């Protein structure tokens, strides 16, 4: 088995399903996890799936991804719009990075338009809900495979 795809989720995503379903959809984080695992396993990868409400913990996990991930999928949630610490940690990953957002952040409040993650991502998927995670994991697996060959 190659190194796993890390799928890291930021604050409030533990409330998926109950949280503003008109924006984020009905899927729970457990549903998202199951979809990511299914997609990755079909492509020969395992998944390390985590969620935190704490910025420092997210930074720790990004550093861990630098050491032991084949690629990183990250929904930084609100920290994507605010966190220079996350940006600095992502700079050191050295593996494919795919940023994902369930909602289309470009269609929402102006304060969601900036991202400290996007300049460091290989690609960004926004507005496709649960399907966006599947696409992000697929892209991460393909990029990881390309870079290891
Ligand atoms: C989000 C979009 C962010 O603006 C927001 O703060 C979130 C979720 C998304 O998945 O659509 O918490 O990252």
The model's pLDDT over 70-117, given as tens digits with 9 standing for 90+, comes to 999 999 999 999 999 999 999 999 999 999 999 999 999 899 999 999
What lies within 8 Å, CB to CB, of 13 at 6+ separation is: 29, 51, 75, 77
pLDDT recorded at residue 149: 75
Catalytic status, residue 101: yes
Query: Cα(149)–Cα(143) distance, rounded to whole angstroms?
Result: 10
Known active-site residue 133: no
pLDDT at position 1 is 82
The CA distance from 4 to 68, in Å, is 7
Reported confidence tier of residue 4, pLDDT bands at 50, 70, 90: very high
The whole-number average pLDDT for the span 113-126 is: 97
Decide if pLDDT at 148 tops 90: no
pLDDT at 7: 98
Q: Of all protein residues, whose CA lies closest to atom 3 belonging to ligand 1?
A: 77
**Reported pTM:** 0.97
- Which pair of tokens denotes residue 124? 């960004």
């Amino acid at each position: 088995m190659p190194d796993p795809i890390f799928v890291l989720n930021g604050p409030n995503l533990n409330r998926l399903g109950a949280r503003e379903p008109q924006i984020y959809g009905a899927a729970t984080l457990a549903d998202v996890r199951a979809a990511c695992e299914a997609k990755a396993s079909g492509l020969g990868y395992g998944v390390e799936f985590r969620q935190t409400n704490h910025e420092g913990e997210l930074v720790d996990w990004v550093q861990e991804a630098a050491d032991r991930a084949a690629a990183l999928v990250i929904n930084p949630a609100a920290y994507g719009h605010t966190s220079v610490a996350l940006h600095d940690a992502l700079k050191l990953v050295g593996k494919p990075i795919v940023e994902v957002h369930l909602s289309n952040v470009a269609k929402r409040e102006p304060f969601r338009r900036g991202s400290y993650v996007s300049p460091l991502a290989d690609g960004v998927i926004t507005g496709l809900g649960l399907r966006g995670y599947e696409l992000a994991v697929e892209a991460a697996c393909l990029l990881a495979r390309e870079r290891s060959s």
